[in-house]
Amino acid sequence: MSWWTWLILGLVLMVLEVVTPGGFFVIFFGVGAIAVGLMEAAGLHMPLAVQGVVFVITSVAAILVFRKPLLERFNKSTPEGRVDAIAGEMAQALDDIPVNGFGKAELRGAAWSAHNVGDAPIARASRCRVERVDGLTLYVRV
């Protein structure tokens, strides 16, 4: 294959990595294709079978060397704890919340939808315990 075919294949694979979730796999095959394309452009003419072997070796080596550091770097912004870990914490009601009713509650400085699952109404500005979390809704009781 000619050098420009390898470069186009590499760019297509890199774009494919960006538009699909996958956790950094396809991009390294793009790197392998670009590496073979650059070798061909530099005048190192290889038979197609050798180009294929160089492509695979370069791609796998790039995965083994660079994937873990990239995942660690990009996953730093991912919260380590689960959202359900806030169950048991105390929130403050921003509205009067009747029994089995909905309102707003503040927890960790953010306003949440709150569902009163207790046997007593929750008065505005009173503290309530978070029983569980479902999406953006706190299930609370006095």
**pLDDT tens-digit map of 100-131:** 999 999 999 999 999 999 999 999 999 999 99
Which range, of 23-27, 80-84, 109-113, 136-140, averages the lowest pLDDT?
80-84
- Closest by alpha carbon to 93, among 142, 38, 39, 44? 142
**Chain-centroid distance, C-alpha 98:** 37
Residue whose token pair is 């996953």: 75
Residue 90 CB neighbours (<10 A): 11
Q: What is the pTM for the complete model shown?
A: 0.53
Residue intervals in the chain for CATH 2.40.50.140: 83-141
- Closest by alpha carbon to 129, among 87, 69, 99, 80? 87
Q: Specify the pLDDT at position 81.
A: 56
Sign of CA dihedral 114, 119, 124, 125: negative
State percent of the chain over pLDDT 90.
Answer: 70
CATH number given to 83-141: 2.40.50.140
